[in-house]
Structure 1
């Protein structure tokens, strides 16, 4: 089955695309796509993208996860970090899930709190040693140190953004 960019944008509610080169074809890449899951989507999907034609094929559910609105690879592409834009992982908190990447397969390593509601961004520094998550409703940022396997330490630095009375 073939899918167009319009289909992705209209039906899946495309949020983030990260890609990795497929070794078997120079004109194809695998796209990892995070989606909102309130309207039938189930999480993170992969597609094959023909870089010559723009054609998307081979849609496949790669990881069931609620509202993975933002995803990011580690610099070595061995880990993928996905935030769940929710406020019910724990009371008023969203979550981040860490996956090990094996070709086009995601293997769940762990999941933990982002210490704020509705995380809407995840970024990884160039060394792969730090991962930052911005929480939309929580109004804060959680900065994690990574372990050698790409997992996150469970003691992030939390930076709260509050308006101070003058």
Structure 2
């Protein structure tokens, strides 16, 4: 799998799948989650409601998929990152699970390109350096014959600089 780094808006990235840093309700929120729901339109929310009606909330570290609505992608993979609480071992495992489960789900859908935001580093306050390290390591350790490219989409310069160092 090739990796690419883009500073920008994940809702504008043409990929087979984009990953949403969702909350457990799956009903949209702030940050990346709100942006994806706004840009993708009501179809994404309607599908999230159907998922909730079927299974209840989405647990931390898990992932579910919807169509991408009006976005330039086929799918949105919604994953719930951990809220940082200082428990580095537990939070790190849950964040790694987010990336791995998203990749597994993407692979099951035949996705060749997937774009990730910086999961849990906004309102969930996960330390950005540690989150970047976990993201890059989890992706590099994931073996796939199907996924050809992983795009890390950084919204801010701080995350972009962290990922530049990690990917070189």
TM-score (norm 1): 0.31
Pick 1 or 2: higher relative contact order, CA cutoff 8 A, min separation 6. Answer: 2
Give the structure with the larger helix fraction.
2
Structure (1 or 2) with the larger CA radius of gyration: 1
Give the structure with the larger strand fraction.
1
